[in-house]
Structure formats: structure tokens, C-alpha cells
A and B are shown apart, each in its own frame.
Chain A
Amino acid sequence: MLTRTTLTVAGLLVLAVAASAQNPGPGRGRGRFGPAAGNAAAPGGARFLGAEAGMPGRVVKNAPYSADMVTESTQTLADGNHIRQSSTAKVYRDTEGRTRREQSLNALGGLAPTSNLPQVVFINDPVAGFNYALNPQNRTATKSAWARPGRGGQAPGSNQSMTRLRQQSVDRSAANAGRWGRGAAARQNIKSESLGRQTIEGVPADGTRTTMTIAAGQMGNEQPIQIVTERWYSPDLQTAVLSKRTDPRMGETVTRLANISRAEPPNSLFEPPADYKVAEAGNRTGRPAAPPAQH
């Protein structure tokens, strides 16, 4: 009797441990977009849950265009290895300042290296006062309120977090500039020079090269570190058509516009298609994991 009871208890314990060790199955994620919004995850890969359009940096009116935006990033490691990332997007802007970005999601900076994530469309509509993130795969859209760009903008939900993120990045850059020196000393560390005007992808653009130097010993570096940024800005489009940033610590990143068209994009591009199911963006219920400790 006692032996039989012991075996039964041991069996129950083994079953409980085995059941608890199972991973959540597909569709059990906590995203508010629910299982229907996600794509099937590749083994060891990522699963798309949804998207939310953020705020534009600024609203540009009377400068419509469309173009392909290609970004290529290359990093060379100390052992000679290379890390290459690329991103392509189709961008549109109309006369009213509404924008649309059809963005491919590749490896997401190494977070999802083996995944086949869908394309996402982000629409910013300052005229109607809404942002949309479209998922063409599932024909769904997430709608959020548009908030005026700027430090004082009161954006709801994740937009608020992104606004604060952007501001903190700017503040951090200012703090770094202060750390590297003030006044004349700071100006010696950052030099800008004009590269003149050139026609790039069929539009005239003004070039500027900015060189920032981190002096030797400033951050434990034996030799000075030079961070060089070349930016070709189109006054007509009011955007950069080519930018190249070289940082020996982080590699080289080139972003360029190709196939530029200055024709007015159709209005239909700046609103969700009629057959899309539109849902309001809500606040998250989960709590972010605390960042890892800085040592």
C-alpha cells in the first residue's frame, strides 16, 4: 500500500514538472494585437505582433515626393569579421505634409536574425490628426492619435515614450558635448565644412561634412577618434538625399534616396484601405523589464 502510494506521488510530481516545463505555444503571446496579428515564428526566430506609427520629427508642407530609401550599415570587427545590415523602405510625402513609409523589417538589428517578418506601413496624417500602422499581411491597422512634434507635445501611450526617448538622446548628446569641452574647446572638437552643391539622384543637394574628434585619453582611447558625417540636403525636398556616417567604433552607415519622384502621391496612400480592420492603439498592460545594470 505504502509503495503504491509512493509511486503514485512520484508520478504526479514528474507530470507536474513536465507540464510546467512546456513553453507557451504559438498564439499565447501577450501582445494586444492578439494571435491573429502575428505571423508564424520561424524556429528560433521572431514573431510579428504589431506596429505603431510614431510622431514625425517635423511636418513639411509643399514639398511632395516619393522615393526608395536604402540604408546599408557595415561594421568591421577587430578580428576582421564584418556585420552588414540593410533596410529598404518606400517613402511618400504629399503637399499637406502627410507621410507614408512602407518599411521592410529585416533582422531588426540582430534581434530577429532568422525571421521572415512582414512589411509594415506607417502613415502620419497631421491633417486628420491620426497615425496608422498597417499590416498588409493580415489587412489590419492600428490607429493612434497624432500629436504635434516638439518637446511639449502630449502624445499618448508609446508615442509618449518615443518622444521622451528622442529627447533623452538629444540631452545625452548635449551632455557629451559638454563633457568634451565647452565654448572654444567644444568648437575645436566639432568641425563643419561645406562640400558645395551637387545633383544627387536628379535633385540639387547641399553637402556638409561634420567631423567630431574625441581627443586621445578622453575615453581611454590611445589615439584621437574621428566621427565623420557627410550629409547632402535637398532644399527642394527639405530632406537629406544622401548621408554617410563613419565612426570607427560603430562602422559606416549610408542612407540614400533612389528613384526620386516629385509628383504628388495619391491621397489613397495616406489612409487605411477600406477593407482593413482598424483598431485603436491602447496602453500596454505589461511592465518593461528593468534595464541591465550599468557597471
Chain B
Amino acid sequence: MKCSLCRHNDAVYVIKTVIRKKMTELRLCAHCIEKKEKELGLKKGALMYYAVPIALTRLERDIFPKDATGLSCPECGLLYSDFKVTGQLGCPQCYKAFAPHLKLFFKLTQGAETYCGKDYVPPDGGPYLKYALLDRKTIQSELREAVKTEDFEKAGALKKILEAKAETPAPRKKKNSHEV
């Protein structure tokens, strides 16, 4: 795409502005963006902070295709269209639900589709370890529920967690201290 001003060089940056609720785009080459800065009396490079590189706007169109707007996460119910607005996922399952789109996003932004680092080995304790993070009351109610449903493996694990919690002193806290 050619530059909106000189109509000769390839556009490298796009400046998006909203005027009377209508989005307008100004596509500029590196030469014209500097010229525009001089015209507006701005320091060299000042407009660059406003400009979005063209590659990124293309990327936005590619990773947020229209046919994916109805897509949602089966676990937390997050809509793909909501993710598009906030850029925040709701739960680990969202990664599975939106995997093809996220892989494309990673390929375009980070140069790779998948993680290539070391594997993480979670600590021993199996599926019940997460209960260690809950408060005592919640663990006690979970324990009662486990006994009621005769899930003795879970009940045993929860009992051990409660015993460990009773031995650990509560963390020291100073609320709203001004010494940040």
C-alpha cells in the first residue's frame, strides 16, 4: 500500500484517529512521517509513538477473523469477541478453545507458534494440592463434602492439608502501611 501523502513510497506506519465517531486512517512512509512531525512542530520520533506499524494492523485482521466471533470457551464462557476487545483470557481452557487463532497470533508477534522452553514438573501432591491455597473454612466444608460422598482419598488429602495449616503460623501483615 502506498503512502497517503507522497503516493510514491510504501506505507510503513498507520495513524488511526477518531473524528466525529468515525475512524480515519493515515498511512505514511518513513520519510513522510518525519515531514509531518516537522510540519506539526513536534520532536523527531514523536509521531512514531502514535503510529502503529502496518504489519500490526494486518495482524489484527488476520488473528481476529470475522468467522471466529461466535467462538467461546466451554469452561468459562468467554466469547472470542470479548477477548478481541480486552486482550484477556478467562481460564487455562481458553488456550485450548482458541488454540488455532492464538497460534497464529504467536507466530505473527513472537515468531513461533508454540513454547519451546523447558517442561514444568508440578510439585508432588496430585490434584489435591490446590486446596492448600484455600482458607481453612473452605477446606473444612470440602472435607465434609468428601466424607459425605465417600471420596476417602480426597478426604485424607484434605485432612493432611488442614493439619499442615494448623502447624504453619499465619503470615505477618501490616494493612495500608504508608511505607511502600
A binds B: no
Residues of B within 8 A of A (CB): none
